[in-house]
Amino acid sequence: MDLAADTTGFLASLWLYPVGAVFVMVSALIPPVPSTTVFVALGALAGLDGGPKAWALVLAMIAGAVAGDLATYGATRLFGQSRWGATRGPRRQRAVDAATRRLRKSPFTLMLTSRFVPLGRLSTNIACTVAGYRLRAFTGFSLASAAVWSAYSVGVGICTRFWPGLSTQAAVLAAIAVSIVLGWLLGKASTWILDHRAAPAPAGVE
């Protein structure tokens, strides 16, 4: 049974892209929403008969990511960093504090890699707002990091289709598993690098 054929009604519909974009936008405000997983799975179906278009998935994900980042920026400016969201509390505050430290040293690197860290996207967006980043600069950072994240997510899904002997269903599952592992590794590596850069110099060192 072909998964793409089973769901071809929706996968072939133009509604897939705006719905997917809204899903990504919501995930900026509610981190547990698995937007990366969804687009990795869709990437594994891209190009199949009745499946979605890879370039359209990337554009939809970019649009949703930037919209979600701007929504976070606006909500933080309007309500403050601790008065809204599904992840309020000490854990989010620690994540925001860590993002603020990293932001001082490597703002672009942080924006580029924060989407691979749990709570990273939300905390970084909040940190940028609290730090007083202008909307134009923030939007530029958001757009660049969204393009990388979107290409990565859809690309991982596409790559699994070239593994020999995998059915469509197995390719989707493999794509999700690979994206989780790679995302975890990228998150750990980027966090280590950013923390190393943000570490204060030893006493007496100029």
| Residue numbers in the chain where pLDDT is lower than 50 | 1, 4, 86-87, 201-206
Give pLDDT, residue 163: 79
Q: Which residues, including other chains, have CB under 8 Å from residue 181's CB and lie 6 or more apart?
A: none
Q: Rounded to whole angstroms, how far apart are CA atoms 85 and 187?
A: 23
Write out the two tokens for 75: 């909500």
Rounded to a whole number of angstroms, the CA Rg of the chain reads 18
Give pLDDT, residue 111: 78
Give the distance, in angstroms, between the CA of residue 128 and the centroid of all CA atoms in the same chain: 16
Average pLDDT, the chain: 79
Kindly report each contact of residues 121-125 with a partner whose C-beta sits within 8 Å and lies 24 or more positions away, as own/partner.
Answer: 121/27, 121/28, 121/31, 121/68, 121/69, 122/28, 122/29, 122/31, 122/72, 122/85, 122/87, 122/92, 122/95, 123/92, 123/95, 123/96, 123/98, 123/99, 124/99, 125/28, 125/69, 125/72, 125/73, 125/76
Phi, psi of 9 (to 5 degrees): -60, -45
Give pLDDT, residue 1: 40
Give pLDDT, residue 199: 52
Give pLDDT, residue 86: 46
The pTM (predicted TM-score) of the whole model is 0.80
Give pLDDT, residue 173: 84
Q: For the chain, report the end-to-end CA distance as a whole number of angstroms.
A: 65
Q: Rounded to whole angstroms, how far apart are CA atoms 10 and 33?
A: 20
Give pLDDT, residue 69: 94
Q: Rounded to whole angstroms, how far apart are CA atoms 43 and 58?
A: 9
